Amino acid sequence: MGSAIGVPAAIEEMRCATSKSQSDDAYWRIDNIVVVQGSLYEAAAPTAACLVTALPSCSRVSRSNFLDLLFQLGNGEPNEVEIALGNGRLDEVCRAELVRAFGVYISILEESVASDCSTDFYHCLDLLVICVVADRSLKNRIAWYYQKVLDVGYSRGRDAVRSHLQEISKM
């Protein structure tokens, strides 16, 4: 892949974006370098750390792009070139970074239920499962939150919440 030298600036541009097109432009400048078609590259781990740090202060228009990139980083696998270079645990390192934003995902999930914002809701459901993969000690806490979402009667995402609850119960 290309040089990651522009990734920090792209993260900041995405964080401060005032339009969807600005956010999308920055998103692609990050995505095309650090995680390409599910393959993680060397810059993935520091990018995950930066995205987690910037997530709480990102613009509302950029939040879905932040969450999507975090999901891709948490779900990716090291590219075979990275494995050959000794970066075979890049996926684990990325997931460990994602866990640091556990509380932010919960907050966004709660806000999404209240505001009926489905995109962020589904991203956070997925990111919380990744948190359990990375840190099994979060399993019961996340199951509790999922149950609370079911209890408040958020109808649009009930099936997804049940599915995610079943998934983590098997871990």
Burial class (CB in 10 A: 0-12, 13-18, 19+), 35: buried
User: Can you give the residue range of the structural domain that contains 46?
Assistant: 1-100
* Domain C-terminal end among 69, 100, 131: 100
The residue from 59, 79, 100 where one domain ends is 100
The span from the CA of 29 to the CA of 6, in Å, is: 8
Does residue 82 sit in the same domain as residue 139?
Answer: no
Same domain, 6 and 89: yes
Residues 115 and 87 in one domain: no
Predicted local confidence at residue 144, as pLDDT: 95
- Other Cβ atoms less than 10 A from the Cβ of 161: the count is 22
Mark whether 35 and 63 lie in a shared domain.
Answer: yes
Q: Could you read off the pLDDT tens digit of each residue along the chain, which spans 171 residues?
A: 678 899 999 999 999 999 999 999 999 999 989 999 999 999 999 999 999 999 999 999 999 999 999 999 999 999 999 999 999 999 999 999 999 999 999 999 988 877 766 789 999 999 999 999 999 999 999 999 999 988 887 777 888 999 999 999 999
What pLDDT does residue 116 have?
A: 65
Contact 47, 68 (CB under 8 A): no
pLDDT of the residue at 113? 78
pLDDT at 18: 97
- Residue 90 and residue 38 share a domain: yes
The answer to whether residues 42 and 58 belong to one domain is yes
Q: What is the structure's pLDDT at 165? A: 94
Q: Which of the 8 DSSP states describes residue 87? A: -
What is the tally of structural domains in the chain? 2
Q: Which of 9, 6, 5, 84 is nearest to 39 (CA)?
A: 84
Instruction: Give CA–CA dist 118/116, Å, rounded.
Output: 6
pLDDT at 62: 97
**The pLDDT of residue 1:** 60
Q: What is the pLDDT of residue 2?
A: 73
- What is residue 23's predicted lDDT score, i.e. its pLDDT? 98
Between strands 35-36 and 77-78, the pairing is unpaired
Q: What is the phi/psi pair of residue 7, to 5°?
A: -65, -45
Q: Dig out the tokens for 94 from the structure.
A: 């990325």
Q: Write down which residue in 100, 127, 145 finishes a domain.
A: 100
